[in-house]
Amino acid sequence: MDEQLPVGENDFSLPTVEVLTGRAFITGKSGSGKSNTASVVIEELLEAGYPTLIVDTDGEYYGLKEQYELLHVGADEQCDLRVGPEHAEKLAMLALEDNVPIILDVSGFLDADDANDLIRETARHLFAKEKRLKKPFLLVVEEIHEYIPESGGLDETGQMLVKIAKRGRKHGLGLVGISQRPADVKKDFITQANWLVWHRLTWDNDTKVAGRVLGNDYRDAIAELDDGEAFVQTDWGERIERVQFRRKRTFDAGATPGLEDFDRPELKSISDDLVADLEEISEQEQRRQDRIADLERELADREERIDDLEQELENARDLRDLAGQMADALQNGQSDDGPGENVEQLVAEKNRLERDLAEREDRIAGLESEVESLREELADRPTDADLETAREATERLAEAVGVTTGDESGKWRRKYEAAQERIADLETNQPTVDAPDDYESFVDDEYVQVAIEEAKDEGSPRYVRAVIAGVLRRGGPVTREDIARDIDIQSDSNIEKGIRPLAERGIVTTDGTGPGKQIDFHLENVREIHEQQARKERTEELMDQF
């Protein structure tokens, strides 16, 4: 006869291999005995030498340590060790390869996302390892409706648990889902379970579910069950049985507190070696977080230095322009016998400022390269820090500055105004440009290409390319979140470093904010892009002549 687990009165038992590898659902209202039943099954598995992993959402299962050696991990000080998603692979290895029973207590996590990440990653590593090991092993999940709800979509944790429910059995990985509200659990999970335990239910929506699965005869009867009593429905049994489950032998940490003194039992301790291995993982994660913090500080310092240098650069440009204008004005206006020393001094000062400007530009270029490397390194690391630190730098066209140095400056100003009139005349005769019919033609346009290159120079070349590629790939609007997924980064806010310079040049339009912000090519703006680029070229040509 197959090995059995004695769990109820009158010699009622469950086949061990079916429990370890099957899909089960245990339900009942609060106080009806569902968690006691789950604990009884776990006690019998531990007694027989089979480890299990329990996802404990309410901190109820630590009482098992009164008689059995389990590793109790979670987020609060009552646990043997505090853990996070980075420990998931090690936990799966301990459970499957070292036969260590584990209570994964997520009741102490303040952030539900952190708890979900830990559950998902642990379940994923269990499933992956079982594909190779094929060892009978049971995963028990309390409050299963939180992860596999009937209404609404499944998050990544729910999808992982459904995957185990559907495909775990052939690899030896079983799943028990526990809930007090069957109406809130995904219907397919319940109907496809191969053993079910129905404790007392009273809410109409829940008894309707029981009636659909068990049969209408049980819909009313289920409300009359005593504590610990349940209808048990199995694939291997010929009929539904009414069973009184035994009381758990270990401390009942989930019992409703009474007026009597509460005495926490003496619990069995886990080996120091196991704790040391997990603590090493915690220390590695802390070192990684410290490194991220150091990189962020270094990045902030370097960008602050860049801001200072850019301000100096702008001041130097203004001084250079002013010195050049003064020198030109004096050279054009001086007589043959006039003083030449002042002009020579101004020219020398202008040349010095230009050399100083070139040196500062080289220093900024070097720092920008280092900052871009730091940005890419941080982008590859999971972090909640917002690294939105865009370098605001725009190329300046030669700007006319009025210089009150006598009649000579008036001549210079009249020459500048004549040049402006020439620019306006050329703009009036600008040929008509039709909007392109498709995105590829738009991007291939000569002037659009020039504008894209300018956007790369001003913003981040990586993110500018990502935005262009994202729109082309989809042939239509794309979101910030889509682009971040395309280039495999976590923080979509960095995509703004590509969106902003493209939008400023009229290459893309935007709609909305945040991760859902939509970006599309501005095809109708191609004429304006042509005019802007042509105007810049003419201005530069005239300024060279000037």
DSSP 281-329: HHHHHHHHHHHHHHHHHHHHHHHHHHHHHHHHHHHHHHHHHHHHHHHHH
Q: Where are the domains of the chain?
A: 25-253, 272-396, 430-546
Q: Which two tokens stand for residue 310?
A: 């850019």
Cα–Cα distance, 230 to 254 (Å, whole number) = 19
* Token pair in block for residue 17: 């291999």
Q: What secondary structure letter does DSSP report for 380?
A: T
pLDDT of residue 354: 74
> Residue 430's pLDDT is what?
53
Give the amino acid at 544: D
For the domain made up of 430-546, the CATH class stated in words is mainly alpha
pLDDT of residue 404: 43
Helix, coil or strand: residue 197: strand
Alpha carbons within 13 angstroms on the beta-carbon side of residue 288 total 13
Distances (CA, A) of 542 to 77, 324, 394, 513: 74, 16, 21, 41
SS (H, E, C) 200-229: CCCCHHHHHHHHHHHCCHHHHHHHHCCCCE
Return the pLDDT at 399.
Answer: 43
CA–CA gap between residue 160 and residue 158 (Å, rounded) = 5
Q: What is the side-by-side order of every strand in the sheet holding 508-511? A: 478-479, 518-521, 508-511
Domain range 25-253, CATH architecture:
3-Layer(aba) Sandwich (3.40)
Backbone angles phi, psi at 236, to 5 degrees: -90, -10
Q: Element (H or E) spanning 448, and its range?
A: helix 446-458
Tell me the C-alpha distance between 319 and 252, whole Å.
Answer: 81
- pTM of model > 0.85: no
Gap between the Cα atoms of 448 and 310, Å rounded: 27
Sheet strand arrangement including 173-179: 81-82, 71-74, 102-105, 52-56, 137-141, 173-179, 23-27, 195-198, 229-234, 241-244
Structure tokens given for 260 = 């009597």
**How many C-beta neighbours within 10 Å does residue 225 have?**
21
C-alpha 118, offset from chain centre = 14
Question: Pairing mode, if any, of strands 71-74 and 81-82?
Answer: parallel
| Angle, alpha carbons 16-19-23 (nearest 5°) | 160
Helix (H) or strand (E) holding 499: helix 496-504
> Concatenated DSSP letters for 403-446?
--SSHHHHHHHHHHHHHHHHHHHHHHTPPP-PPPSSHHHHHH-H
pLDDT per residue rounded down to tens, the chain (546 residues): 579 999 999 999 999 999 999 999 999 999 999 999 999 999 999 999 999 999 999 999 999 999 999 999 999 888 999 999 999 999 999 999 999 999 999 999 999 999 999 999 999 999 999 999 999 999 999 999 999 999 888 999 999 999 999 999 999 999 999 999 999 999 999 999 999 999 999 999 999 999 999 999 999 999 999 999 999 999 998 899 999 999 999 987 665 544 454 454 554 556 666 666 666 766 666 666 667 766 777 777 777 778 777 777 777 777 767 766 766 666 665 545 455 556 567 667 767 777 777 777 777 777 777 767 766 666 665 443 333 333 343 334 334 434 444 444 455 555 556 656 655 655 555 556 677 878 888 888 888 898 998 888 887 888 899 999 999 988 899 999 999 988 888 778 888 889 999 999 899 999 988 889 999 999 888 888 888 877 777 666 555 554
